[in-house]
């Protein structure tokens, strides 16, 4: 099989080829390793998707050329992993200077599970620092560029993962989503991104941003790949007290029709603030859904417009505490020649963290302060409860909710860096689902001004199997062509 | 037990005159729980292992690690709650207590805040405010002359202790004197030891105590401004520290000053009290619910399991020893509150051949004669005197085979060498003399040798008998029975 042919394969198709013996896992690894390493070597001239690339195929992949790889569900197919997943002995820096060169002594549970299922670690992907950002411009290791237009951002915070998959530098990738960090970059890069139900995938070994929201998920070329990767990731992990046993096995999607399916379109997330081209693409997707036999009706998520405000209290509050461990005492960056303990803390954290991380730590510290707790954190939690109730009510009437994933297509590098609020609005449509802890998937639904538009499908907790089926049917009807990005 | 253990709240503190200031004391006790593993990870607890050998990503606070609550620690917490008569919260939650310090690797301590595991309760006369679970900090070792962080050359951290489960027990401000505080703490320690939930060793830090102290006019109901005295690591230091702080506040108030709310450190070496931080410098801990842990839901099965593991507690034991065993209230309390004495006593009682033998006599021998020979605080179980031996000795005395005086000599030998009382009696010739001719002869000789005393006794001065009895005891090496000697003296003097 030629390198070009190999690149055309989805990860599932590649796994099937390996299982059938028509492709070796080592060969597949080498094709992607070469492309990823070239991007890393190109520095500013490349997409800057990676912070680390494996030098060669893991021994297991090389040794297990024949039946062994094929016998495992992921068949040795290489995987790009967001930098914030701890990988033993491999730099895990969460996009931050404060963890520059940090080599964890253990591997995150999600990565271990995928390794056990036959995934081989290809690369660590660039990301916004501590997953705080929607453009990947907050990385201490430089911005990632969008393969559809290199002057534009790939979205964030899993920007490296999304761009790598879109550009064919990795067959698939692992990302994390706190307020949209899988779905929004997937949308901006024209690929599939799934945020599972909160608790479905272990968070153990994910360098935390906001514990009550962080969730790992796949970024893939198509819905089938997302299902396959998810299938091997989910499950209760005794190291993560908030992880849950998925109530049933994840199945690979097959649906092609949507007869009997009812979609709800919330007015609150599909009107003002959404770019015209995005809305046009979104409405065209609704027509395709009707063509497949689905019903589309209006629903209300009355509190959704407040989601972003609540999110920007809760997430920074948790982050301010989660990031307290980066104090220069035990690992990572430490300021040189500190005068005393306070000086070490202050300068280590000032110099080690980027501006957006410092901003959110300060926001969160303020929100939790004595005397302000009830007005900010307490109130934000009450809004969160209301948002969950809105979804519950909506799902009593409809099966799934459809929205655009992001209000805009990929924007220019530097376009929003001076205006944090407009940057925060990038997650307007994705944050409500994060607060409610429900699964949501973004699939590409068309182009606007030559740039991908994402369609978000959200379901009730643990509805992943049906959600993937629906997304699969829509994907077939939308027939999005992602190949222009793979050059 | 000292006399002040029963001091009521109406008494003035430290022996001060009526109308003086009254101290109000509340205690916060940290107890390291004797679980196998740490509070939120699988590391085994450390007992003097080389530094940083009992650690893992979780208790080192490495990036990405997550806590999982130790079910055994919750079980021990429930046992403490049951022992203190607390209300066991059906749902309690862990909070993060945020502050920066090198002994706190995550930058926050996982503790409990407004929804603790246990609420209310009491032990003895002291009401319990709450009991909650949390994790211990690591151990900071300051290298350099001072041994404290200021002025040290370097500080190094040993994370072996970090993450050890702690129960924090907070009392209501129901204590009034330093002595009462340390006595009550002893009772709490015995209770916890009896439960088996902790080693409760103050020197090793498995039991640590802070005191909140304020003064007010005696009899007033409002509380004064309090100070918090930190980490006094022995019963003696607790008494001394509280006494010193009461004296400091008293001097301040009587001199027209006011007490400032602050956290204080007591230096047992110098007796000095120094300020750690004032109210203005107090941390804002920014407590919020720990999002990495689920709420702790206490189901009936967990309460049942905790109940099943409860042993008899000191207060109940004192009551049983008094009512069922027939001891005086004082002996019963002493044996119950010093659990090791109680255990020893009950072992000796079980070995007593004669079920009708008065237990009180045995109790007196154990708490009096034996304790005074071993020294306060010694566990008789680790002495050479086996419980069966003291039981047999008390039996010999009760049956007048051995006089009380000879019995004390036997006990001396038991303490020194161990062994069997009857064998000692035989070997040393300490068996009691019967009231036969030999003793009558010695009494006659004693009366003759102490003619003056004999005259005074005959004239009605019973105290004058001392030298006569002393003569008899010397001559008989203490083997004579005192009652019999007294009877013979009276007989021979014709009174």
Band (B435; pLDDT cuts 50, 70, 90): low
B61 interfaces chain A, CB cutoff of 8 Å? yes
Q: Which of A207, A238, A330 sits opposite B64 (nearest CB)?
A: A207
Band (B3; pLDDT cuts 50, 70, 90): very low
Question: Is the residue at A270 inside a domain?
Answer: no
pLDDT higher than threshold 60 for residue B17: no
Same domain, B303 and B374: no
**Which residue in B74, B27, B369, B88 sits closest to B212, CA to CA?**
B27
Residue A441, token pair as written in the block? 């998937």
Question: Is the residue at A438 inside a domain?
Answer: no
Residues of A with a catalytic annotation lie at 82, 157, 181
The answer to whether residues A80 and A125 touch, using CB atoms and an 8 Å cutoff, is yes
* DSSP 3-state of A217: strand
Does the pTM surpass 0.80? The reply is yes
**Which residue in B77, B191, B178, B176 sits closest to B124, CA to CA?**
B191
More confident residue, B470 or B282: B470
Same domain, A81 and A194: yes
Over pLDDT 90: what percentage of chain B? 61
Residue A436, token pair as written in the block? 């409610």
A317 to chain B: which residues are within 8 Å by CB?
Answer: 288
Q: Compute CA A376 distance to the chain's CA centroid, rounded to the nearest angstrom.
A: 27
**Residue at a domain's end among B428, B448, B482:** B428
Same domain, B424 and B443: no
Alpha helices of A220-304 — where are they, by DSSP H?
223-233, 276-291
* DSSP 3-state of A288: helix
Same domain, B144 and B225: yes
Same domain, A156 and A75: yes
Same domain, B359 and B444: no
Residue B134, token pair as written in the block? 């949390």
pLDDT higher than threshold 80 for residue B434: no
B286 to chain A: which residues are within 8 Å by CB?
Answer: 320-321, 365, 368-370, 373
Alpha helices of A369-478 — where are they, by DSSP H?
379-397, 420-424, 431-436, 464-478
Q: Which of B63, B68, B292 sits opposite A207 (nearest CB)?
A: B63
Same domain, B204 and B336: no
**Residue at a domain's end among B409, B428, B447:** B428
User: pLDDT (tens digit, 9 = 90+) per residue, B101-160?
Assistant: 999 999 999 999 999 999 999 998 999 999 999 999 999 988 876 666 666 678 899 999
Query: What CA–CA distances, in Å, run from A222 to A251, A252, B139?
Result: 15, 12, 52
Phi-psi region of B291 (alpha: psi -120 to 50; beta: other; left: phi over 0): alpha
Of these ranges, A281-285, B263-267, B397-401, the one predicted with the greatest mean pLDDT is A281-285
User: pLDDT (tens digit, 9 = 90+) per residue, B324-382?
Assistant: 999 999 999 889 888 889 999 999 999 887 777 789 999 999 999 999 999 877 889 88
Asked if the Cβ–Cβ distance from A211 to B292 is below 8 Å, we say: yes
Same domain, B446 and B384: no
Same domain, B67 and B155: yes
pLDDT higher than threshold 80 for residue B84: yes
What is the C-alpha separation between A27 and B56, in angstroms, rounded? 38
Same domain, B128 and B230: yes
Residue B345: the pLDDT is: 95
pLDDT higher than threshold 60 for residue B14: no
> What is the distance in angstroms between the Cα of B163 and the nearest Cα belonging to chain A?
15
Question: Is the residue at A294 inside a domain?
Answer: no
Same domain, B417 and B318: yes
Query: What CA–CA distances, in Å, run from A53 to A62, A301, A374, B142?
Result: 17, 43, 46, 42
Same domain, A222 and A360: no
> What is the distance in angstroms between the Cα of B138 and the nearest Cα belonging to chain A?
13
pLDDT higher than threshold 60 for residue B60: yes
A/B interface, count of CB pairs below 8 Å: 102
**Which residue in A197, A432, A408 sits closest to A311, CA to CA?**
A432
More confident residue, A319 or B440: A319
**Which residue in B424, B363, B437, B436 sits closest to B396, CA to CA?**
B424
Backbone angles phi, psi at A2, to 5 degrees: -75, 160
**Which residue in A195, A155, A149, A191 sits closest to A175, CA to CA?**
A195
User: pLDDT (tens digit, 9 = 90+) per residue, B412-424?
Assistant: 999 999 999 999 9
Question: Is the residue at A414 inside a domain?
Answer: no
* DSSP 3-state of A140: coil
Asked if the Cβ–Cβ distance from A318 to B291 is below 8 Å, we say: yes
Domain hosting A352: range is 305-379
A321 to chain B: which residues are within 8 Å by CB?
Answer: 96, 98, 107-108, 286, 288
Tally of CB atoms within 10 A around A334:
18
- β-pair type (B154-158, A440-448): unpaired
**Residue at a domain's end among A336, A358, A379:** A379
Identify from B73, B286, B295 which residue to disrupt to test chain A contact, counting A C-beta atoms within 10 A and taking the largest count.
B286
**Residue at a domain's end among B308, B323, B342:** B308
Backbone angles phi, psi at B42, to 5 degrees: -90, 5
Domain hosting B350: range is 314-428
Residue A66: the pLDDT is: 52
B102 interfaces chain A, CB cutoff of 8 Å? yes
Asked if the Cβ–Cβ distance from B68 to A330 is below 8 Å, we say: no
What is the C-alpha separation between B212 and B28, in angstroms, rounded? 8
Task: Determine the length of chain B.
Answer: 495
Asked if the Cβ–Cβ distance from B65 to A331 is below 8 Å, we say: no
**Residue at a domain's end among A317, A350, A379:** A379
Asked if the Cβ–Cβ distance from A238 to B98 is below 8 Å, we say: no
Backbone angles phi, psi at A447, to 5 degrees: -120, 145
B105 interfaces chain A, CB cutoff of 8 Å? yes
Identify the bridge partners of residue B131 per DSSP, sorted by sequence position.
Answer: B118, B169
Q: Which residues of B163-189 are buried (b: 16+ CB within 10 A; e: fewer)?
A: bbbbbbbbbbbbbbbbbbbbbbbbbbb
**Which residue in B12, B29, B239 sits closest to B128, CA to CA?**
B29
> What is the distance in angstroms between the Cα of B289 and the nearest Cα belonging to chain A?
10
**Which residue in B310, B387, B375 sits closest to B346, CA to CA?**
B387
Q: pLDDT tens digits, chain A, 487 residues: what are they?
A: 899 999 999 999 999 999 999 999 999 999 999 999 999 999 989 999 999 999 988 887 777 655 456 678 999 999 999 999 999 999 999 999 999 999 999 999 999 999 999 999 999 999 999 999 999 999 999 999 999 999 999 999 999 999 999 999 999 999 999 999 999 999 999 999 999 999 999 999 999 999 999 999 999 999 999 999 999 999 999 999 999 999 999 999 999 999 999 999 999 999 888 999 999 999 999 999 999 999 999 999 999 999 999 999 999 999 999 999 999 999 999 999 999 999 999 999 999 999 999 999 999 999 999 999 999 999 999 999 999 999 999 999 999 999 999 999 999 999 999 998 899 999 999 999 999 999 999 999 999 999 999 999 999 999 999 999 999 999 999 999 999 999 7
What is the C-alpha separation between B255 and B4, in angstroms, rounded? 28
Identify the bridge partners of residue B142 per DSSP, sorted by sequence position.
Answer: B155
Same domain, B400 and B446: no
* DSSP 3-state of B140: strand
Q: How many domains does chain A have?
A: 2
Same domain, A41 and A132: yes
Question: Is the residue at A131 inside a domain?
Answer: yes
Q: Compute CA B288 distance to the chain's CA centroid, rounded to the nearest angstrom.
A: 36
What is the C-alpha separation between A471 and A478, in angstroms, rounded? 10
Same domain, A344 and A237: no
pLDDT higher than threshold 50 for residue B488: yes
Band (B473; pLDDT cuts 50, 70, 90): confident
Q: Which of A104, A320, A327 sits opposite B63 (nearest CB)?
A: A104
The mean per-residue pLDDT over the stretch B437-449 comes to 85
Strands (E), A288-329: 295-299
Question: Is the residue at A440 inside a domain?
Answer: no
Q: How many domains does chain B have?
A: 3
Same domain, A318 and A171: no
Structural Rg of chain A based on CA atoms:
21
Same domain, A109 and A241: yes
**Which residue in B296, B344, B238, B338 sits closest to B72, CA to CA?**
B296
The mean per-residue pLDDT over the stretch B208-236 comes to 92
Q: Work out the end-to-end distance of chain A between its first and last CA atoms, rounded to an integer number of angstroms.
A: 18
Residue A111, token pair as written in the block? 């990565």
- CATH number at A470 reads 3.90.1300.10
Residue B281: the pLDDT is: 75
**Which residue in A405, A458, A156 sits closest to A279, CA to CA?**
A405
Asked if the Cβ–Cβ distance from A239 to B292 is below 8 Å, we say: no
> What is the distance in angstroms between the Cα of B290 and the nearest Cα belonging to chain A?
9
A203 to chain B: which residues are within 8 Å by CB?
Answer: 66
Same domain, B397 and B445: no
B65 to chain A: which residues are within 8 Å by CB?
Answer: 204-205
Identify from B63, B69, B285 which residue to disrupt to test chain A contact, counting A C-beta atoms within 10 A and taking the largest count.
B63
Question: Is the residue at A179 inside a domain?
Answer: yes
**Residue at a domain's end among A364, A379, A394:** A379
Q: Compute CA A438 distance to the chain's CA centroid, rounded to the nearest angstrom.
A: 15
Name the residue with tokens 């021990």: B76
Same domain, A242 and A312: no
Same domain, A226 and A351: no
Same domain, B348 and B391: yes
Same domain, A368 and A469: no
B52 interfaces chain A, CB cutoff of 8 Å? no
Tell me the torsion sign for CA atoms A391, A392, A394, A395: positive
Q: What is the DSSP letter of A291?
A: H
Residue A258, token pair as written in the block? 């949507």
Structural Rg of chain B based on CA atoms:
29
More confident residue, A91 or B46: A91
């Amino acid at each position: 099989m030629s390198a070009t042919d190999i690149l055309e394969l989805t990860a599932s198709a590649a796994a099937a080829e390996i299982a059938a013996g028509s492709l070796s896992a080592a060969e597949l690894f080498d094709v992607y390793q070469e492309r990823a390493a070239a991007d890393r070597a190109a520095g500013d001239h490349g997409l800057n998707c990676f912070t680390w690339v494996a030098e060669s195929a893991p021994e297991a992949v090389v040794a297990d050329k024949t039946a062994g790889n094929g016998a495992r569900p992921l068949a040795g197919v290489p995987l790009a992993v967001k930098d914030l997943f701890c990988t033993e002995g491999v730099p895990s820096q969460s996009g931050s200077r404060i963890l520059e060169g940090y080599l964890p002594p253990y591997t995150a549970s999600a990565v271990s599970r995928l390794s056990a299922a036959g995934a081989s670690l290809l690369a660590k992907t660039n990301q916004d620092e501590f997953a705080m950002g929607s453009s990947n411009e907050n990385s201490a290791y430089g911005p990632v560029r969008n393969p559809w237009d290199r002057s534009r951002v790939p979205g964030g915070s899993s920007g490296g993962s999304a761009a790598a998959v879109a550009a064919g530098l990795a067959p698939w990738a692992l990302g994390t989503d706190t307020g949209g960090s899988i779905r929004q970059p997937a949308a901006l890069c024209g690929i599939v991104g799934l945020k599972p139900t909160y608790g479905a995938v272990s968070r153990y070994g994910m360098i935390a941003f906001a514990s009550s929201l962080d969730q790992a998920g796949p970024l893939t070329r198509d819905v089938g790949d997302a299902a396959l990767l998810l299938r091997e990731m989910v499950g209760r992990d005794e190291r993560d007290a908030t992880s849950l046993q998925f109530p049933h096995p994840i199945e690979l999607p097959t649906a092609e029709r949507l007869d009997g399916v009812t979609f709800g379109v919330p007015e609150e997330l599909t009107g003002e603030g959404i770019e015209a081209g995005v809305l046009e693409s979104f409405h065209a997707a609704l027509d395709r859904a009707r063509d497949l036999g689905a019903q589309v009706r209006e629903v209300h998520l009355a509190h959704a417009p407040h989601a972003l405000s609540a999110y920007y209290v809760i997430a920074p509050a948790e982050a301010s505490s989660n990031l307290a461990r980066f104090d220069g005492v035990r690992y990572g960056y430490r300021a040189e020649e500190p005068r005393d303990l306070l000086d070490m803390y202050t300068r280590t954290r000032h110099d080690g963290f980027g501006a957006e991380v410092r901003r959110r730590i300060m926001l969160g510290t303020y929100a939790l302060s004595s005397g302000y707790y009830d007005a900010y954190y307490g109130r934000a939690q009450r809004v969160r409860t209301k948002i969950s109730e809105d979804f519950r009510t909506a799902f009593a009437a409809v099966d799934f909710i459809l929205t655009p994933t992001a209000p805009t297509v990929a924007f220019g590098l530097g376009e929003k860096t001076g205006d944090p609020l407009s940057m925060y609005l990038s997650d307007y449509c994705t944050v409500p689902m994060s607060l409610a802890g429900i699964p949501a998937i973004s699939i590409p639904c068309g182009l606007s001004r030559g740039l991908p538009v994402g369609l978000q499908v959200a379901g009730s907790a643990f509805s992943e199997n049906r959600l993937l089926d629906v997304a699969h049917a829509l994907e077939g009807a939308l027939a999005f062509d992602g190949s222009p990005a793979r050059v | 037990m000292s006399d002040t253990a029963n001091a009521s709240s109406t008494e003035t503190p430290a022996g001060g005159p009526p109308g003086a200031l009254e101290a109000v004391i509340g205690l916060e006790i940290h107890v390291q729980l004797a679980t196998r593993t740490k509070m939120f990870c699988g590391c085994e607890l450390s007992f003097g292992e080389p530094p940083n050998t009992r650690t893992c990503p979780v208790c080192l606070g490495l990036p990405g690690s997550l806590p999982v609550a130790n079910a055994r620690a919750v079980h021990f917490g429930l046992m403490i709650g049951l022992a203190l008569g607390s209300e066991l919260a059906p749902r309690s939650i862990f909070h993060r207590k945020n502050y920066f310090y090198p002994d706190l690797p995550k930058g926050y301590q996982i503790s409990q805040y407004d929804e603790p595991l246990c609420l209310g309760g009491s032990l003895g006369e002291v009401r319990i405010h709450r009991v909650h679970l949390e994790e211990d900090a690591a151990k900071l070792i300051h290298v350099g002359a001072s041994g404290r962080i200021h002025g040290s050359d370097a500080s190094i951290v040993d994370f072996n202790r970090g993450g050890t489960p702690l129960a924090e027990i907070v009392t209501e401000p129901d204590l009034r004197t330093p002595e009462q505080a340390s006595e009550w703490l002893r009772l709490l320690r015995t209770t916890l030891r009896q439960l088996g939930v902790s080693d409760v060793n103050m020197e090793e830090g498995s039991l640590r105590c802070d005191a909140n102290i304020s003064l007010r006019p005696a009899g007033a109901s409002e509380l004064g401004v309090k100070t918090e005295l930190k980490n006094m690591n022995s019963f003696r230091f607790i008494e001394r520290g509280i006494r010193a702080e009461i004296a400091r506040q008293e001097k301040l108030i009587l001199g027209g000053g006011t007490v400032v709310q602050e956290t204080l450190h007591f230096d047992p070496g110098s007796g000095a009290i120094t300020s750690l931080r004032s109210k203005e410098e107090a941390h804002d801990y920014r407590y919020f619910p720990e999002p990495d842990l689920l709420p702790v839901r206490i189901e009936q099965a967990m309460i049942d399991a905790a109940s099943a593991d409860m042993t008899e507690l000191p207060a109940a034991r004192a009551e049983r020893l008094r009512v069922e065993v027939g001891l005086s209230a004082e002996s019963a309390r002493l044996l119950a509150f010093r659990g090791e004495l109680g255990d020893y006593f009950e072992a000796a009682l079980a070995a007593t051949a004669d079920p009708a033998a008065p237990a009180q006599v045995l109790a007196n021998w154990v708490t009096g004669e034996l304790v005074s020979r071993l020294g306060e605080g010694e566990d008789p179980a680790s002495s050479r005197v086996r419980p069966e031996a003291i039981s047999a000795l008390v039996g010999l005395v009760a049956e007048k085979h051995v006089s009380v005086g000879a019995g004390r000599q036997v006990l001396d030998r038991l303490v020194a060498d161990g062994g069997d009382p009857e064998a000692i009696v035989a070997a040393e010739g300490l068996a009691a003399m019967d009231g036969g001719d030999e003793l009558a002869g010695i009494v006659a000789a004693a009366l003759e040798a102490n003619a003056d005393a004999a005259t005074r006794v005959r004239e009605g001065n019973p105290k004058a008998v001392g030298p006569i009895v002393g003569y008899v005891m010397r001559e008989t090496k203490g083997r004579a029975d005192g009652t019999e000697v007294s009877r013979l003296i009276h007989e021979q003097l014709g009174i």
